[in-house]
Amino acid sequence: PAARLTLDPSFRIAPVEPRLFGSFVEHMGRSVYTGIFEPGHPLADAEGIRTDVLELTRELGVTLVRYPGGNFVSNYHWEDGVGPVEERPVRLDLAWRSREDNRFGLNEFMSWAAKAGVEPMMALNLGTRGVTEALQLVEYANYPGGTRLSELRRAHGVDKPHDIHLWCLGNELDGPWQMGHKTAGEYGRLAAETARALKRFDPGLSLVACGSSNSGMPTFGAWEAEVLEATYDMVDYISLHAYYDPSDGDVDSFLASGADMEHMIRSIAATADHVGAKLRDRKKIKLSFDEWNVWYQSRFHGESSLDWAEHPRLIEDAYDVTDAVVVGSLLITLLRNADRVGVACQAQLANVIAPIMTEPGGPAWRQTIFHPFALTARHARGEVLRVEPECATIDTGRYGEVPALWSTATHDEATGGLTLFVVNRDRHAPCTTEVTLPGGLRAVEHLEIADADPSARNSAGSPDRVVPRPGTGLHLDGCKATLTLPPASWTIVRFA
Ligand code: AHR
């Protein structure tokens, strides 16, 4: 065989964290409007929620959804989105130079989240606003009643508090494109004071401090260190964001995106631990990878190209087979680091760089990237196992030598089931892999995402052009399996 790997249930990393299968709904383009929410659509319910998108969200296996931004949140006034719809103002959204009529807001989102069966992750505006407005939102959302803001919520028809547990202290405030952009010192102080007030309100809240917008930011690493020095004892997570695309046509580097994501995770974990050591604090800060995906950024001409339209078609990337393989490899990376990454959100859920696409008044369908997410969310159960294949390497322009195989596995002690997730990054050759595993198991499912045409996509007219297909090259004999992985492919094998 060209490669070998071992699945040993005693090589445990950490339990599978359900919050790794998060997603993101921003007031951006058609993510909310004509995405998850479209009053008047033939499949919309009485609240205007698209039930076709709701069903696909459940099928995707999403556990948690971050809302309402993103860049949008940094100039958002949450009060605009609550109360009688006819009284809500139309505002300019400066992040995406769009018009926002606020027909959808906090209470509509919470109703959608309950129907979708997902945990909310709410982002606060720490761009153009501060401690007071953050506290007011949390009181409106979470206090039972008897105060001005909790009674306002009740007057808006929401009797019981929402009990939102997870809050982001702003979004990408290191980025000069962000409304209310700040230095690390300015942001660290504001995040600390907001966190102090929120924890006084409810010490049980989980708080996420903003990390860098991407690993190419000039302050990457230094930003996290300074922010965590100011907030260490008051926050639970630091955020990471990363988007990948085959820029300059470098597909080998693109297929190695997981190696870069792992490098980011380890760098920020080390930075957080360094701060903990300096502060003599044994607490471990977890990582919230709350924006990740494939995004063809070169196709977006920047915010200044936008002209105040209402829910325009923004960054609606149509994903191909290679993109799905990369998304599968990024999910493998998150699982490989399940001891440190406590939350992760694919950005975004519907239409905007999304696994689910819709047409206004028309159908909803699954993009190629839907499939590795849905299969991983459904079958990653129990403990994540350390899997380190012995295999060839690939020389990439951006990340140097990377292993040709990228893999993880999970072991469900309750059922004894073992699930292997593996990507073959080699675009030119299949890889025959010998898998060593405990005896007494059968292969119950073997699916692949691969195609003779790696640029194949799904569309409204051809929604199932790319779907996971049963793999062929698997032979299991006792404790050894031989598995043939097609070129540039993502594979799942379930043993039970
Ligand atoms: O997901 C799209 C945008 O990417 C988000 O609004 C922002 O946080 C990031 O830069």
Lowest mean pLDDT among 121-135, 299-313, 398-412: 299-313
Superfamily of domain 3-9+385-495: Golgi alpha-mannosidase II (2.60.40.1180)
pLDDT of amino acid 298 = 85
Please name which of 225, 212, 136, 207 lies closest in space to residue 178, comparing C-alpha atoms: 212
pLDDT of amino acid 301 = 83
* Ligand 1 atom closest to 28 (CA): 6
Query: Residue range 26-50: average pLDDT?
Result: 98
pLDDT of amino acid 414 = 95
Domain boundaries, the chain: 3-9+385-495, 17-379
What separation in Å is there between the alpha carbon of 327 and the centre of ligand 1? 17
Q: Is the pLDDT of residue 496 over 70?
A: yes
Per-residue pLDDT reduced to its tens digit, 79-108: 999 999 999 999 999 999 999 999 999 999
Percent of the chain surpassing pLDDT 90: 97
pLDDT of amino acid 303 = 86
Percent of the chain surpassing pLDDT 70: 100
Which residue type, as a one-letter code, is found at position 250?
D
Rounded Cα–Cα distance for residues 260 and 241 (Å) = 12
Burial of 248 (0-12, 13-18, 19+ CB in 10 A): exposed
* Ligand 1 atom closest to 172 (CA): 8
Other CB atoms within a 10 A radius of the CB of residue 208 amount to: 29
pLDDT of amino acid 1 = 66
What separation in Å is there between the alpha carbon of 74 and the centre of ligand 1? 11
pLDDT of amino acid 29 = 97
Query: Residue range 371-388: average pLDDT?
Result: 98
Ligand 1 proximity of 70 Cβ (cutoff 6 Å): yes
Per-residue pLDDT reduced to its tens digit, 276-317: 999 999 999 999 999 999 999 988 888 888 999 999 999 999
Do residues 383 and 460 touch, judged by C-beta distance below 8 A? no
Nearest CA to ligand 1 atom 5: 70
| 172 noted as active-site residue | yes
* Ligand 1 atom closest to 315 (CA): 2
| 17 noted as active-site residue | no
Per-residue pLDDT reduced to its tens digit, 381-393: 999 999 999 999 9
Q: Which of 26, 38, 172, 383 is catalytic?
A: 172
ipTM of this complex: 0.99
Q: Is the pLDDT of residue 434 over 90?
A: yes
pLDDT of amino acid 202 = 98
As assigned by CATH, the class of the 17-379 domain is alpha beta
Per-residue pLDDT reduced to its tens digit, 312-370: 999 999 999 999 999 999 999 999 999 999 999 999 999 999 999 999 999 999 999 99
Rounded Cα–Cα distance for residues 362 and 379 (Å) = 31
Mean pLDDT of all residues belonging to the chain:
97
Ligand 1 proximity of 347 Cβ (cutoff 6 Å): yes
Query: Residue range 395-404: average pLDDT?
Result: 97
Task: Print burial letters for 96-117: b (CB count within 10 Å at least 16), e (below 16).
Answer: bbbebebbbbbbbbbbbbebbe
pLDDT of amino acid 304 = 84
Ligand 1 proximity of 331 Cβ (cutoff 6 Å): no
